[in-house]
Structure 1
Amino acid sequence: MPRLALLALAMFFMGLACSANATLAEQTILTSVKQESLSATVVRAKTSWRWLDCGSSTDVVRIESIEVSPDPPEKGKDLSIEVTGNAGEVVEDGAFADVTVKIGPLRVLQKRYDLCEEARNANASIQCPIDEGRHIVNQTVTLPKEIPNALYRINVRGYTMNDEDMVCIDLDVDFRNRPFPDVE
Structure 2
Amino acid sequence: MFSRVTILFLWSALFLYAYASGWEYVDCGSPSQPLRIDSIELSPDPPVPGQDLSVTVKANVTETIEEGAAAGVVVKLGLIKLVQKTFDVCEEARNANAPFTCPVQPGPYTVVHTVALPREIPKAKFLIQVRGLGDSLCLDLRINFMKSAASIFTSPF
State the distance in 1 between where 2:135 and 2:102 align. Answer: 17
Count residues with an aligned counterpart: 145
Change in Cα spacing, 1:96 to 1:11, as seen in structure 2 (3 Å) is farther
TM-score, scaled relative to structure 1: 0.71
Shift of 1:158: 1.1
Equivalent of 1:170 in 128, 140, 143? 140
TM-score, scaled relative to structure 2: 0.82
Equivalent of 1:157 in 118, 131, 154? 131
1:113-156 Cα deviation digits (max 9, x unpaired): 11110111112221211110111111111111122111111000
Alignment of 1:90-129 (within 5 A): 90-129=64-103
The answer as to whether partners of 1:60 and 1:88 remain within 8 angstroms in 2 is yes
More helix by share: 2
Moved over 2 A (4+): 7-11, 27-30, 177-182
Where in structure 2 are there 5+ consecutive unaligned residues?
1-5
| Aligned partner of residue 141 in structure 2, secondary structure | strand
- RMSD over equivalenced CA pairs, Å: 2.3
| Aligned partner of residue 31 in structure 2, secondary structure | coil
Shift of 1:157: 0.3
Partner of 1:75: 49
Where in structure 1 are there 5+ consecutive unaligned residues?
1-6, 17-26, 31-46
State the distance in 2 between where 1:11 and 1:29 align. Answer: 15
